[in-house]
Amino acid sequence: MRAEIQNTVAKIEKSVALLKQRLDWETAPHRLEEFNAMIEDPTLWDDPERAQKLMRERQMLMDAVGTAKSIEQDMKDNIELIEMGEMEEDQEVIAEAEAALMALTKTAAEKELEALLDGEADGNDTFLEINSGAGGTESCDWASMLARMYVRWAEKKGYKVELQSESAGEEAGIKSAAYKISGPNAYGWLKSESGVHRLVRISPFDSAAKRHTSFTSVKVYPVVDDNIEIEVNPSDIRIDTYRSSGAGGQHVNTTDSAVRITHFPTGIVVTSSEKSQHQNRDIAMKALKSRLYQMELDKRSALVNEAHENAGDAGWGNQIRSYVLQPYQMVKDLRTNFETSDTKGVLDGDLDGFMAATLALNVSGKSRADAQGE
């Protein structure tokens, strides 16, 4: 084989080796047997939340093992095709197999990154909060654009998206919105999006067609489960109910079912405005615990995941990413220097490149300054 293809094979083998290492390959079959035994327990579904969590963990392990085996087998098959093509001097077979190996390199690299999502809460579902910042109507419109971007990204991943609460802008867009996004590694991927996002464009609200800069903050918190205990002292919170309504105009029915929980020690405020007040209390309390857990993660993290650096107001100097639509097209992450001119694709949810770059940066232990220096 050509040296280039040998290097490609070496990259794939390295990715597979990391996948197996992260999976603890020797014990994986035994863990699958344990999962299979547990799901056969007739009392399993007496606790639906535990059962769903168990089924999800089993499926994630099965998918990871299957992925490693599939990549390894595809690599071997294509190597054999190349060797056979060389023996028979069939250049067409060789070219097809080499192209397949090159494509497999990208797939293996993506799965290698996913294997790095092994933080304590990376596999959990996540809450995503979007809040408009400096820029008035422009910022509210930008917040709605970001909300659409994340919903599109989640849908492409096959994740479930639930709108928890939303506050409309006075003229356009939204002041704020909160979502629960459910799916494998939802928090692990989205945690890199926490921070301030800056937009530069010709304003559709300015009759003079001038360029405007808008800011919106994004905050991401893992949904805590039964394995993560967070105690909330009842005397530390206040629970308020208030009238809520959905989109649709003045004829939409309203009820006093929305719930707001204020946590006095931290100043955290969470809301939920579903139809059921009981359901809202449960959702809001879970959101509060997730916020408190995220604060604890930030304290314990050696790298702090740049959370403190990104915790400033949604305005100049605090942004993690710039989206420039005028006078040129460019989206650039200021932590990793990853950039693309495909602004439409990004705003339609093509975010994996940005997330992967930030994940790789965090795993390498580099600071933002180091990355920008490089």
CA distance 250 to 247: 9
Q: Which pTM value belongs to this model?
A: 0.63
pLDDT of residue 330: 97
Tell whether the model's pLDDT for residue 248 goes beyond 50.
no
Tell whether the model's pLDDT for residue 197 goes beyond 70.
yes
Single-letter amino acid code for the residue at 289: K
Tokens standing for 344?
A: 């439409």
Q: Let me know: does 204 contact 186? Beta carbons within 8 Å.
A: no
337-344: long-range contacts, CB 8 A cutoff, minimum separation 24: 337/371, 337/372, 337/374
Given CATH 3.30.160.20, say whether it is the number of domain 234-305: yes
Average pLDDT, the chain: 83
**Dihedral sign from CA coordinates of 67, 71, 76, 82:** positive
Q: Which residue has the higher pLDDT, 315 or 219?
A: 219
* Residues contacting residue 224 through CB under 8 Å, at least 6 positions apart: 121, 124, 230, 286, 289, 290, 293
**pLDDT tens digits for 74-118?**
999 999 999 999 999 899 999 999 999 999 998 898 888 777 776
pLDDT of residue 224: 75
Give residue 14's pLDDT band: very low, low, confident or very high (50, 70, 90).
confident
Tokens standing for 81?
A: 């095709």
pLDDT of residue 282: 84
pLDDT of residue 247: 44
End-to-end CA gap in the chain? 34
Tell whether the model's pLDDT for residue 27 goes beyond 70.
yes
Give residue 305's pLDDT band: very low, low, confident or very high (50, 70, 90).
very low
**Dihedral sign from CA coordinates of 293, 298, 300, 301:** positive
Give residue 311's pLDDT band: very low, low, confident or very high (50, 70, 90).
very low
- Strand 319-324 and strand 195-202: the pairing is parallel
User: How many alpha carbons lie under 13 Å from residue 108 in its C-beta half-sphere?
Assistant: 27
pLDDT of residue 113: 76
Alpha helix positions (H), 116-161: 137-157
Q: Which residue has the higher pLDDT, 107 or 331?
A: 331
pLDDT of residue 299: 66
User: What is the separation of C-alpha 307 from the centre of its chain, rounded to a whole number of angstroms?
Assistant: 15
Topology (CATH level 3) of domain 3-116: Methane Monooxygenase Hydroxylase; Chain G, domain 1 (1.20.58)
Q: How large is the average pLDDT for residues 311-336? A: 80
Q: Let me know: does 164 contact 176? Beta carbons within 8 Å.
A: no
pLDDT of residue 295: 79
Tokens standing for 329?
A: 């097209």
Q: Which CATH number fits domain 126-226+315-364: 3.40.50.300, 1.25.40.80, 3.20.20.70, 3.30.70.1660?
A: 3.30.70.1660
Tokens standing for 361?
A: 């940066």
* Residues contacting residue 347 through CB under 8 Å, at least 6 positions apart: 145, 148, 149, 323
Q: Which residue has the higher pLDDT, 219 or 207?
A: 219
Burial 341-372 (b: 16+ CB within 10 A, else e): eebeebbebbbebbbbbbbbbbeeebebeebe
Domain boundaries in the chain?
Answer: 3-116, 126-226+315-364, 234-305
Tell whether the model's pLDDT for residue 71 goes beyond 50.
yes
pLDDT of residue 184: 86
Tell whether the model's pLDDT for residue 369 goes beyond 70.
no
* Residues contacting residue 25 through CB under 8 Å, at least 6 positions apart: 68
Percentage, residues of the chain above pLDDT 90: 43
Tokens standing for 174?
A: 């939204």
The Cβ of residue 100 has, within 10 Å, a number of other Cβ atoms equal to 16
Tell whether the model's pLDDT for residue 372 goes beyond 50.
no
Helix (H/G/I), strand (E/B), else coil: 135: coil
DSSP secondary structure string, 183-232? STTHHHHHGGG-EEEEEEEE-TT-TT--EEEEEEEEEEEEPP-TTS----
Q: Let me know: does 121 contact 222? Beta carbons within 8 Å.
A: yes
Tell whether the model's pLDDT for residue 226 goes beyond 70.
no
CA distance 135 to 212: 8
pLDDT of residue 229: 67
Q: Let me know: does 220 contact 197? Beta carbons within 8 Å.
A: no
